[in-house]
């Protein structure tokens, strides 16, 4: 999940004014139980939902050049949809020495 967060930040897709939402209020959380691992990318900023679901807003692009609504869509259903799975598999193989 930390690699996903880093990829989202480097892709410059989140709306960015002072950077608080991206740099301080977005974090990862991982839990384990019943043989499963659950990873979450969480944005705890009060404005996140409003910004995410409203593409009609005029997003600044001087700080994050690709800023806009639906900023996680490339990793959910777009060109990067296999990023988490592939990255997890790569890191698992590395950790296991395979």
Question: What's the pLDDT tens digit per position in 51-84?
Answer: 999 999 999 999 999 999 999 999 999 999 999 9
Please tell me the predicted confidence (pLDDT) of residue 48: 96
Residue-wise burial string across 52-88, b where 16 or more C-beta atoms lie within 10 A, e elsewhere: beeeeeebeeeebeebbbebbebbeeeebeebbeeee
Tokens 């790569």 belong to residue: 90
Question: What's the pLDDT tens digit per position in 9-51?
Answer: 999 999 999 889 999 999 999 999 999 989 999 999 999 999 9
Reported pTM: 0.89
For residue 95, name the pLDDT band (cuts at 50, 70, 90): very high
SS3 state at 48 = helix
For residue 98, name the pLDDT band (cuts at 50, 70, 90): confident
Please tell me the predicted confidence (pLDDT) of residue 33: 93
Please tell me the predicted confidence (pLDDT) of residue 9: 97
């Amino acid at each position: 999940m930390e690699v996903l967060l880093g990829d989202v930040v480097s892709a410059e897709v989140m709306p960015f004014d002072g950077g608080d939402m991206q740099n301080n209020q977005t974090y990862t959380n991982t839990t384990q139980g019943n043989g499963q691992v659950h990873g979450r990318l969480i944005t705890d900023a009060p404005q996140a939902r409003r910004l995410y679901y409203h593409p009609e807003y005029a997003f600044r692009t001087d700080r994050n050049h690709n800023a806009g609504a639906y900023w996680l869509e490339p990793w959910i259903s777009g060109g990067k949809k296999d990023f988490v799975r592939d990255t997890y598999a790569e890191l698992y193989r590395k950790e296991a020495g395979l």
